[in-house]
Structure 1
Amino acid sequence: MSERRIGLLCAFGVLFIWTGFQLMSRFLAAQSVTAWDIAALRYAGAFLTALPFLIWRGPPRMPVAQALALTATAGFGFSLGAYGGFQLAPAAHGGVIMAGLLPFLIAAAWWISFGEAWGLRRIVSLALVGFGILLLGRDTFGDHPGAWRGDLLFIFAVLCWAAYTWLIRKWRIGALDATMAVALYAAPLFLPIWWFWLPSRMENLSLGMEIFQMAWHGALSVMLAGFLFTRAVVLLGGPQTSAITAAVPAMVALGGWLFLGETLGATGWVGVLLVTGGMVASVLPALTLRPRAPTSTG
C-alpha cells in the first residue's frame, strides 16, 4: 500500500473513533458524572495502555518540555474542554464546533507557518464543509439557548487540538512518541489533583462501566486515535487529515439522533450531506492517485 492510502486508513479510523468519543461523552454527561471524572477515566486508561509500550521501547523520544507541551494541548486542553462542553451542550454542538472548525484552523496554520497554499480543490471542500456546518448549527443550536457556555469550551478544545497538530508538524515528532507522551504525562499530573480536590460523582457508574469507559476514552480515544491522527498528519498533512475528520459533525448528528434522541430537521440533514460531500471532495483525488513510474536519471 502507498503511504497516502495508509494515511487515509488512519484518518478514517480517527473519524469513527472521534464520533464514538463525542457520543460517549454526551452519554456520560447524562449519567451525572462530572467532566473531571470522565477525564480521570481517560487518563488512567491511556496510562495503563501506554505502560507496555514504555517497557518495550522506553520513554518518548523527545525533550521533556516538548512532551509537556503536547500533554498541555492534546491531553489537558482538548479533553477537559470537550468534556466540560458536553456537560453543558448537546452532542451535535461538539461535533459541529470541534470537528467543523478544525480544518479551517489547520489549513490557515499550514498556510501561514509552512507556506502550504490553498488549491482550488481545498477551497471547494472547505466551502462545502463550512456551509454544511452553518446549516447544522442553524438546525441544532436554536433548541439549546443556554448551551453557549459549552460551545465556548468546545472552541477552546479545538484550538488546543490545532496547536497540538501544529506542534507535531513543527517538531516532526513520530506518531507513537507523541501518543505516549500524552498518555504517560497526563495521568500522574491530573489524577492526584482529581482524587484529593476535584468534585466527583463516580459512584453513579458501575465498576463495569468504569472499566469500559477507561478502555474507550483511554485505549481508543487517546492511544489508538492519537497514534492514527498523528500518523495521518505525517503521511497526508494536517489540512487533508482535518478535512476527513470534518465529517465527524455529520456522524455525531446522526448518532445523536439515533442513540440519544437529539433530533435533526431538514436543514440539519442538508448540512450533513454538504459536510460529507466536502470530505469526499478532499479525499477522492487521493483515493485515485497512482504511484508514478520511476524515471531514469541518466
Structure 2
Amino acid sequence: MIATVLGASRDPVLEQRIGFACAIAILFVWTGFILASRAGARGVLTPWDLAALRFGVALVALSPLMLRGALRDIPLQRVLVMGATAGLGFALFAYNAFALAPAAHAAVLLPGALPFVTAVLAWAWLGEAPTSRRVLSLLVVAAGIALLAGSEFFATPGAWRGDILFVIATSSYAVFIVLVQRWRVSAIQATAAVALGAAPLYLPVWWLALPSAIAEAPWQEVVFQGFVQGLVAMVLASLLYTRALVALGSTTVSLFTAVVPALAALAAWPVLDEPLGLGALLGVFLVTAGMALGVRRGRVDVPLARP
C-alpha cells in the first residue's frame, strides 16, 4: 500500500486521486508548520535547535529507507545539492526568520514567493516560458507582498530582516523543486536525499559551535517540535509535496498551495495572538488571489516568447 502511494501508479485515475489527496494534505501540513515554527522561535529553543530537531529526527526516521538503498541511483553530488537547498538553505534561513517576523509574513513569503522564484528558474533551466496569465498572477502576488511589507514594515521590530530571510529560504526551496523536476527524482528519493545531505553536515556543527537552549527547554516542547519539524514538516511535507508534484505537476499543485497564505495568516490571529491590520489582510488576499489566478486555465494563457 505504501509503495502504491509513494511510487508512481500506472493507473492514471488512481495517480490523479493520490496526487489530489497529497495536495490537500499539504495545506494542513504547511499551515501547521508555519504556526508551530513561529511558536517555537518565540519559545526557549533557538532557531538552530529547531533545525537540529528537524534534521536529526528526519535522519532517524528515514534511515530504514536509506539502508534499503533508496538513494542507490542518485549521485552523491545530487544528494548534497538537495540537502543544501531544501535542507540547509531552507531550514536555517526560515527558522531564523521566524524569530524576527510574524507568522503572517511567513504565510505570504514562504508559499507566496515560491511560484515567483520557481517560475523564473523553470524558465531559465527548463525552458518553460511563463504564460501571459502566469505573468499577471505574479504581478498580483508582488503587489500583495509589497502591500504586506508596507503595512507591517515597522509593526514588528526587525521584521524586515525576517522577511528577507523568508525570501532567501523560499528561493532555496525553489531551486530544489526545479532540480527534482529536472532530475526526475521520486518522492522517497528526494525526501531521503534532503535528510542525508543535510543532517551529517549540520548536526556536528550545531553540537559544537551553535547557540542552543535545548537543555533548558521543557521536554514537552522538545518532543513537540521534534515531531512537527522532523516528522511532519521534513518527512511528511517533503513526501506529500514531491508526490503531488510527480502526479499533478507544479501548476496544479500551486492551486492548492494558493490557500496556504490566507489559511496560515488567519490562523495565526487566534492561535499566536498576532492580529492583522487592514493592509496586511489585503496583502494576504492579493497573494492568494494571484496564486489562484496563475493556475487557472483559460484561453488567454498565451506563452511569452523567450528572449
TM-score normalized by structure 2? 0.83
Matched residue, 1:195: 207
CA–CA separation in structure 1 for the residues paired with 2:72 and 2:21 = 24
Q: Could you list the structure 1 runs, at least 4 aligned residues long, displaced by more than 6 angstroms after superposition.
A: none
Q: Identify if the C-alpha distance between structure 1 residues 93 and 182 changes in structure 2 by more than 3 Å, giving closer, same or farther.
A: same
Shift in Å at residue 60 of structure 1? Answer: 5.0
Which secondary structure does the structure 2 equivalent of 1:173 belong to?
coil
- Choose which of 100, 108, 114 in structure 2 pairs with 1:96: 108
Which secondary structure does the structure 1 equivalent of 2:185 belong to?
coil
Matched residue, 1:181: 193
Report the residue type matching 1:150 in the other structure: G
- Of 52-61 and 17-26, the range deviating more from structure 2: 52-61
Within a 5 Å distance, the mapping from 1:228-239 to structure 2 comes to 228-239=240-251
* 1:161 pairs with 2:185: no
Shift in Å at residue 185 of structure 1? Answer: 3.2
CA–CA separation in structure 1 for the residues paired with 2:281 and 2:100 = 23
- Of 130-139 and 205-214, the range deviating more from structure 2: 130-139
CA–CA separation in structure 2 for the residues paired with 1:4 and 1:89 = 37
Corresponding residue pairs, total: 286
- Contact kept in structure 1, 2:121 and 2:175, CA below 8 Å: no
- Of 125-134 and 180-189, the range deviating more from structure 2: 125-134
Shift in Å at residue 145 of structure 1? Answer: 4.3
Q: 1:158-180 deviations in whole A, cap 9, x for unaligned?
A: 11111111111121111110101
Shift in Å at residue 44 of structure 1? Answer: 1.2
Which secondary structure does the structure 2 equivalent of 1:88 belong to?
coil
- Which structure 2 segments of 5+ residues have no match? 1-12, 299-307
Q: 1:185-213 deviations in whole A, cap 9, x for unaligned?
A: 32222212211221111134222321221
Q: Identify if the C-alpha distance between structure 1 residues 123 and 58 changes in structure 2 by more than 3 Å, giving closer, same or farther.
A: closer
- Of 33-42 and 148-157, the range deviating more from structure 2: 148-157
Matched residue, 1:224: 236
Shift in Å at residue 43 of structure 1? Answer: 0.8
CA–CA separation in structure 2 for the residues paired with 1:255 and 1:27 = 12
Q: Identify if the C-alpha distance between structure 1 residues 26 and 156 changes in structure 2 by more than 3 Å, giving closer, same or farther.
A: same
- Contact kept in structure 2, 1:61 and 1:177, CA below 8 Å: no
- Of 65-74 and 96-105, the range deviating more from structure 2: 96-105
- Of 128-137 and 39-48, the range deviating more from structure 2: 128-137
- Contact kept in structure 1, 2:22 and 2:240, CA below 8 Å: yes
Matched residue, 1:292: none
- Contact kept in structure 1, 2:254 and 2:295, CA below 8 Å: no
Within a 5 Å distance, the mapping from 1:31-180 to structure 2 comes to 31-180=43-192
Pairwise CA RMSD of aligned residues? 2.4
Q: Percent same amino acid among aligned pairs?
A: 45
Report the residue type matching 1:94 in the other structure: A
More helix by share: 1
CA–CA separation in structure 2 for the residues paired with 1:243 and 1:96 = 15
TM-score normalized by structure 1? 0.86
Matched residue, 2:6: none
Report the residue type matching 2:190 in the other structure: A
CA–CA separation in structure 2 for the residues paired with 1:237 and 1:80 = 27
Shift in Å at residue 97 of structure 1? Answer: 1.9
- Which structure 1 segments of 5+ residues have no match? 287-298
CA–CA separation in structure 2 for the residues paired with 1:120 and 1:9 = 29
Shift in Å at residue 264 of structure 1? Answer: 0.9
Shift in Å at residue 222 of structure 1? Answer: 0.9
- Contact kept in structure 2, 1:111 and 1:117, CA below 8 Å: yes
Matched residue, 2:27: 15
* 1:263 pairs with 2:263: no
CA–CA separation in structure 2 for the residues paired with 1:50 and 1:85 = 27
Q: Identify if the C-alpha distance between structure 1 residues 124 and 236 changes in structure 2 by more than 3 Å, giving closer, same or farther.
A: farther
Q: 1:225-271 deviations in whole A, cap 9, x for unaligned?
A: 11111222223333443454243322221122121111112233333
Q: Identify if the C-alpha distance between structure 1 residues 236 and 61 changes in structure 2 by more than 3 Å, giving closer, same or farther.
A: same
